[in-house]
Structure 1
């Protein structure tokens, strides 16, 4: 499609069918009124949650309101995403957001009231047979009790909340609004202003001078702001240390992992195992140096194309067929659900005027999931389709198996199902190509996913660990110290065959994820878990498939680490990461063979 069409001109077969959630606006309005009515009765349970019968009724009402509110919210926002300029759905989206806040406020007394009960009262509730369905909720609430403070202290911490957001807000304004980058000459000698969005495009240039100029311009700009950004990152780390102390956690790391009930060993295992695997990454860089035919490999050469742009034109119908073929190892039931998604209005396929950018999978409990795409006829869009349908089928199986309260899976698990689909798609593509150029293009694409998702995110995770530990020991973190830590990590991760340019020491200053502390490791663990599953499915067949489908059906019915363990991926051990690394090794070996290395 050469020009972007209006929403009204999109063919029905290319749209998702949101009528499966609400057939009409009148139906939405009726549910909205029902939730407003139900919210009035929630307060009647306040002060009575020591009694098992009252607690059970309160939980049931909370689930009912929450499920209806989610449905209203999802529908309103997905209608808004079809055409963000459409005023009627802008208004509906705002209305649903306000309702969501009201629901949160109305039910906010439940957890604190349960936590105010004595240990004896809590133990009695957990043991009560009439509350067996809510046992996990109660046990989880009790687990949190050690870190919940008195009413007055909690009120004080709530007031500190707005101040606590300051480091992230200030960094966001500086990074996105105030930071101005110089102009860089592109391949045609035209002066183009450097921006965050254009930076990677410059680094992907075939012209080395263009890559170098963009790289140096980017970090020279950050270097001028190093004192300010150093202060914002320091303030963020100080804030984290404050909360860890206030809530009686041994460290910021343990506080950050507590919600998912992940032990610090999972985090340190990841770092240690990746350290052991660094020679593989260094081997990849050596190969990259050879393929680029350069005397020295620099940091600005990491995104340079290794093969002349290999054009893969893949229509949406071809992408669907290829994804379905690739996912055959997951069995007929999985393929049936996939086909239902393709045929029954789950997917909004192409770009239209005002449509939300990017891609996602979303939906409400009780209806099938949906996928928003902005499909282009290329390799990346085919992988996006596989990825988002992985999320969708995870939600479908989880919702079909679990009650509402336990259906939602954690972020720790979320990327596993989507990345596994990508791994199986890549396995299929590599197995079915005889064109050496196409094969090298695919291998490079996959190897760079390992480099950016596993190695790079682990390096970020290690930087966070070191900086927080230094702060916890009372050491100062000047911009010079932050740069020194970051530069040493880059040298360690990139190895002897890479010239680790001094400019890279400022990269810490441009990573927004450092303001969402101890989060990035989940990208590396999720990718490793998915790669491990894919390897088991390819090597073992049906027993591994059965375990994997069990994982997809588990939702949030247990702790993430336990759900994965039952399915054959034990993230508390180094094994899944080692399995992922063995796949990375195979990729490099195939690339070396093609390159005659």
Structure 2
């Protein structure tokens, strides 16, 4: 039986995160918002129309760094409170009020970039030479110059930012607040259902009747909302297309890749090679699951099954510490201290409750410490998920200590490397401390079923679907629910071929991910894991020199492009070799799982 979800007020507080690390009281938060507004007013009064010397530019940007830090703290304070309980109207109200403030601030301060962009380039170059802290910010302004709009247009767009970002909020309210999943019944037994329960538990359930009934009930509820969610998504992609056109980009994809600082070749290679080269390996894995579970016909609802369902160890939050610390201590004593603080100072929200965001994420407010959201299910696979999110946490914690706030914006192309690296380190550690063949098979199958499936299959298939959507939008078309369903089904059928039946409901998978509201994020999971896989092999082979290189990368953050960061770590992502090597590595793991299964089961 799945667990009944508690109200947020009824969960164990010690297993929730502590947002008082940002602001101890509501009064402190309100004072910070007041300070933020006053600082913005002061900047507008002192600098508007006057950014025509290197001195005035740098003086202004020095104050903008303070604004950005206050914005980080106040914004995350509201946003994180909502993420753990979307049913709390008080938190929603605070968050929506701040979104309006944020939009107003963006509008008031839009003159800064506009005035600098329109000024003499020699003045910008002199400003760059006079300030190390503002150098990268000013270089970005120069890079954006070709795509800047009239200052008044930029001001209006900034003022409308809250409204323009509403599709994501509508999606979250629909899926997390409005979708009321009813219990489903199998053989006279009732099972509770929610977005979180399906994705965390029922999708992995070993009972085929329960698993497929849960999938059917879950899909049925999604289907009721498909037109609403499709309308929100159509608004999102149409906004992106309009902005791309206004700024002079040839396509939406070009526009979104520009912000990632990578070219289209890297983007298309990631999708095309994985669709072609990884598919045969994953079909072999699906056949193995079919054989182990004695399933007559493998369907989309069966793909999350475990290779050894009777073996996965249970693990409490407390017990997870020894695994997390043991695996990640290889990255250094100071790295390990960050991990210990995450547990001791309640950086992590472990509990499951009604209205909580699904999945897992890490938020990294500059000026505070990171916050990790996860829904702990007492299964060993959660150790991998937590290692992943703590990879983000430690990455940004180290970077935020090393860089000023202008230099902490790492490209999304690279951002998943430190997180997925930790999953690989966890696997290597577990196999080192336990050489039992069955345990080794469990670790390897967790790597395939979770780490690589999640990043190289789930998110990559999202990316393939997303590319098709943007191609339609670029050609002047629109996307309704029926179109989105057809695209998603076609992508799934192309990847899985005849080895997996794409049943009714599978086509609605596009409704399950928020990534489509975050630009070209989905494909970057496989890009990041490609880099992490290659670096992890270096660490196994070379030891400390490879670790030292990786630590330097973690602290470099937004001062380098993804290509430069990967090069620092010893990986050349301008070629297809790292990706092909990683796909081969995945294939070798699957082959070893098949071999171990034959040995274990005779």
TM-score greater than 0.5 by the shorter chain: yes
Residue 126 (structure 1) aligns with = 125
Note the alpha carbon deviations across 1:213-272, whole angstroms, 9 max, x for none: 444555566667777766665555444433322221111111111112221112101012
Residue 402 (str. 1) matches residue 403 (str. 2):
yes
Counterpart of 2:320 in structure 1 is 319
Match of 1:280 in 2: 281
Alpha-carbon distance between aligned partners in 1 of 2:539 and 2:232, rounded to the nearest angstrom: 45
Return 223-232 or 308-317, whichever deviates more: 223-232
SS for the counterpart of 1:314 is coil
CA contact (8 A) 1:49 1:113 kept: yes
* Alignment equivalent of 2:60, drawn from 58, 61, 69: 58
Determine the structure 2 residue equivalent to 1:207: 207
- CA drift of 1:355 comes to 11
Deviation (angstroms), 1:48: 0.8
Kept after mapping to 2: 8 A contact 1:535/1:579? no
Q: Shift of the alpha carbon at 1:406?
A: 1.3
Q: Which moved more, 1:519-528 or 1:163-172?
A: 163-172
**Post-superposition offset of 1:4:** 10
Q: Which has the larger radius of gyration?
A: 1
Deviation at 1:93, TM superposition (A): 7.7
The answer on whether the counterparts of 1:298 and 1:498 sit within 8 Å (CA) in structure 2 is yes
Residues 436, 594 of structure 1: 8 Å contact kept: yes
Q: Distance in 2 between matches of 1:59 and 1:52?
A: 11
Cα separation, partners in 2 of 1:348 and 1:460, compared to 1, 3 Å: closer
Change (3 A) 1:94 1:214: closer
Correspondent of 1:487 among 483, 486, 489: 489
Equivalent residue, structure 2, for 1:262: 262
Distance 2:180 2:12 in 1: 39
- Aligned pair in 2 of structure 1 residues 336, 488: CA closer, same or farther (>3 Å)? closer
CA distance in 1, matches of 2:594, 2:556: 41
Aligned partners of 1:269 and 1:572 also within 8 Å: no
Query: Aligned partners of 2:457, 2:513: CA distance in 1, in Å?
Result: 15
Residues 38-79 of structure 1 show CA distances to partners (whole Å, capped at 9, x for unaligned) of 444212111110111111111111113333454466568779
Q: In the alignment, does 2:247 pair up with 1:247?
A: yes
Q: TM-score if structure 1 supplies the norm length?
A: 0.82
Quote the offset at 1:31 in angstroms. 6.2
- The residue aligned with 1:190 is 189
Partner Cα distance (1:270, 1:237) in 2 = 21
Q: Return the offset for 1:317.
A: 4.4
SS in 2 for 1:327: helix
State yes or no: 1:529 paired with 2:531.
Answer: yes
Q: Which one is further off, 507-516 or 260-269?
A: 507-516
Q: 1:17 to 1:184 in 2, by over 3 A?
A: closer
Alignment deviations for residues 86-107 of structure 1 (CA, whole Å, 9 cap, x no partner): 9999999889777756654543
2:314 and 2:212 map into 1 onto residues whose CA distance is: 31
Secondary structure of 1:440's counterpart equals: helix
What TM-score results when the alignment is normalised by the length of structure 2? 0.81
Shift of residue 326 of structure 1? 1.4
How far does the alpha carbon of each residue in 1:394-421 deviate from its partner, in whole angstroms, 9 at most, with x for none? 1232122222321343444333222211
Contiguous gaps of at least 5 residues in structure 1: none
In structure 1, distance between residues paired with 2:24 and 2:180: 48
> In 2, are the aligned partners of 1:269 and 1:573 still within 8 Å (CA)?
no
8 Å Cα contact 2:270-2:527 kept in structure 1: yes
In structure 2, distance between residues paired with 1:444 and 1:348: 26
SS of 1:206's equivalent? Answer: coil
